Amino acid sequence: MSAITLPALGLFVTTLGVAILSPGPAIIAASRSAAARGRQASMPYAMGLAIGASFWCLFALFGLTVLFRIVPQSYAVLRFLGGAYLIWVAFQMWRHAADPLSMEGESVAGPGFRQGLALNLSNPKPALFYAGVIMTIFPALSTAGAAVIYLVALSVEVCFYAAVTVLMATNPMRRGYRAAKTAIDRIAGTLIGALGLTLILRH
C-alpha cells in the first residue's frame, strides 16, 4: 500500500475544489438558496449538498463503481432517476420564479438538509469522477488511507458549500438577487433542467 503524501493530498483537494465550483446543479442551487433566503436558512441545505456529494466518494472508495461496469443498466437507471429529479427541481424553480420573497424577519421556507442530500444523490456522475481521481492519485490505499481520503473529501465539500453560501448570502448579492429574482430563478431552472436532461440522454 502506498503512503498518502502531502503533495498528493494537495492535488486531490485542488482537483476536487475545481470540480465543485464548475457549473453544476448543486452549486447553482446552493447559490440561489443563499441569495434568496440568507445564510442561516440556507446552511442546512448546503450541508446536505456537501454530505450527499461526499457519499459518492465513499461509493468509489468501496469500489462499488465496478457495479456500473458489471451491470451498465444500474448506472443507466440511476442516471434516469437522477435526471428526472433535477428536471423536477428545475420545474419548481420556474413555477415559483415570480413568487415574491418574504420580507426581512419573516420565516423563510425552502429546501433544507434532506433536499440538499437528495439533490447531490440524484447525480451518480461524481462517483465516476471520484473513482478516476482516487485511482490516479492514490492507486493503492489501506483501510486507514481510505478513511483519511473520505474525511478530506467531506471536509472539502463542507468548506466549499459553506463558503458559497456565506458569499452568496452577503447583502450585495442578496440585493442583486432580489432585483432580478424572476430572471435569475428562470435561468437557474433552465440550467438545472438542461443538466438533468443531459444526464438522462448522455451515454
Amino acid identity at 117: L
pLDDT recorded at residue 69 = 79
b/e per residue 95-108 (b: at least 16 CB within 10 A): eebeeeeeeeeeeb
Distance CA 5, CA 137 (A): 10
C-alpha gyration radius of the chain: 18
CB 24 within 8 A of CB 188: no
Only one residue has cell 454530505, namely 51
Interval 88-99: pLDDT, tens: 989 988 988 888
Contact present, 46 and 120 (Cβ < 8 Å)? no
Q: Cα separation of 22 and 27, whole Å?
A: 8
Q: pLDDT tens track of the chain, all 203 residues?
A: 557 889 999 999 999 988 887 778 899 999 999 998 899 999 999 999 999 999 999 998 888 777 877 888 888 888 888 889 889 989 988 988 888 765 444 345 567 899 999 999 988 888 888 888 888 888 778 889 999 999 999 999 999 999 999 999 999 998 898 888 899 889 988 988 998 898 888 76
Could you give the residue ranges of the DSSP H alpha helices within the chain?
Answer: 6-21, 25-37, 39-61, 65-70, 72-95, 113-121, 125-137, 143-168, 171-179, 181-201
Burial (CB < 10 A; 0-12, 13-18, 19+), residue 180, is exposed
Predicted TM-score of the model (pTM): 0.82
The domains of the chain are located at 24-99+110-201
